[in-house]
């Protein structure tokens, strides 16, 4: 009887919380999974012939869409950090941005290699003649210095100029959305969703809007 009473009054053990290092490892697995999933899906569909009647166009569209999604998610990390006090926002932002750059490179490589067989005069003619190609190429060129200077070493070297340089990412996001809208022609639903998301993120960068949200959060 005594043993029964003692066992019933024993306090329940609280579930162990994941350590900070454990959370970071889980976060790394999550953002690598998000970054690599579109590529794995594309390779699967390519291997089994599931890319439709125009596989090259399908690959161009899908790598481009993956780039825009990941670029947008990397931009979401910053407001999520100060709005929800998410300490790991900066940890997520850089790899998602680099994955976006990877898909932009694949997007461009498929365009110049599979679509135009690396024939430089034809590639140049297409980029100059097509407004969507010109805007997309401009976004690609602007992304290169951001990818190169994304390391902590470059951040220390550039100092305050690093933040100024990396604000160009918002211009790149706008160019990417315009490129997507002009590329798909009549199918505007998804491009307009991305346009709305980028527009909202730009709005959150306005100091008055940011301060208003921070005051609302404190209440």
pLDDT tens digits for range 147-170: 999 988 998 998 888 888 889 999
With H, G, I as helix, E, B as strand and everything else as coil, classify residue 159.
coil
Q: Is the pLDDT of residue 85 over 70?
A: yes
Q: Identify the CA nearest to 68 among candidates 201, 187, 174.
A: 174
Q: Which residue has the higher pLDDT, 139 or 215?
A: 139
d(C-alpha 151, C-alpha 38), whole Å = 24
Q: Identify the CA nearest to 127 among candidates 117, 139, 137, 119.
A: 137
Return the pLDDT at 141: 96
Residue owning tokens 């340089």: 165
d(C-alpha 186, C-alpha 164), whole Å = 36
- pTM above 0.85? yes
Q: DSSP per residue over 82-124, as a string? A: HHHT-TTHHHHHHHHHHHHHHHHHHHHHIIIIIITTT-HHHHH
Percentage of residues of the chain with pLDDT beyond 70 = 90
Q: How far is CA 210 from the centre of its chain?
A: 22
Return the pLDDT at 97: 94
Q: Is the pLDDT of residue 205 over 70?
A: yes
Residues in Cβ contact with 174 at an 8 Å cutoff, skipping those fewer than 6 apart: 198, 202
Q: Give the range with max mean pLDDT: 31-35, 79-83, 209-213.
A: 31-35
Side-chain half-sphere of 45: how many Cα atoms within 13 Å?
Answer: 17
């Amino acid at each position: 009887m005594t043993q029964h009473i003692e066992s019933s009054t024993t306090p329940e053990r609280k579930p162990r919380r994941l350590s900070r290092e454990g959370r970071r490892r889980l976060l790394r697995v999550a953002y690598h999974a998000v970054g690599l999933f579109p590529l794995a899906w594309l390779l699967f569909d390519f291997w089994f012939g599931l890319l439709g009647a125009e596989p090259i166009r399908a690959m161009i569209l899908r790598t481009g869409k993956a780039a825009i999604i990941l670029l947008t998610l990397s931009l979401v990390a910053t407001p999520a950090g100060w709005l929800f006090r998410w300490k790991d926002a900066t940890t997520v932002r850089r790899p998602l941005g680099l994955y976006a750059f990877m898909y932009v490179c694949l997007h461009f490589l498929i365009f110049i290699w599979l679509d135009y067989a690396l024939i430089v005069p034809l590639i140049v003619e297409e980029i100059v003649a097509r407004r969507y190609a010109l805007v997309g190429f401009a976004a690609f060129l602007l992304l290169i210095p951001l990818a190169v200077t994304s390391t902590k070493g470059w951040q220390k070297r550039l100092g305050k100029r690093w933040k100024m340089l990396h604000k160009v990412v918002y211009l790149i996001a706008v160019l990417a959305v315009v490129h997507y809208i002009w590329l798909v022609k009549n199918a505007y639903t998804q491009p307009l969703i991305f346009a709305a998301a980028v527009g909202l993120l730009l709005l959150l960068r306005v100091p008055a809007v940011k301060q208003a949200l921070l005051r609302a959060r404190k209440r």
